[in-house]
Amino acid sequence: PSDDVRAAAGWALRQIGTREALEAAAEYADEHSFIVSTEGEKARDALDDEPEPAATA
């Protein structure tokens, strides 16, 4: 797939916003393509910003 398609997929995964989707997009943070890696970095940042789940007793 082209870089545009892969970047769009990363954007879509970030819009879904689940942990699993963000982790999938974050895998491309170190990609050689700027637009693909940017989406991956944004996903990685979103994962870093997630609050820790509350402990349940």
User: Which residue's entry shows tokens 């879904």?
Assistant: 16
**Which pTM value belongs to this model?**
0.76
Burial class (CB in 10 A: 0-12, 13-18, 19+), 35: middle
Other Cβ atoms less than 10 A from the Cβ of 22: the count is 24
Reported as type and span, the H/E element at residue 53 is none
Q: What is the pLDDT of residues 3-56, one digit of tens each?
A: 999 999 999 999 999 999 999 999 999 989 999 999 999 999 999 987 766 667
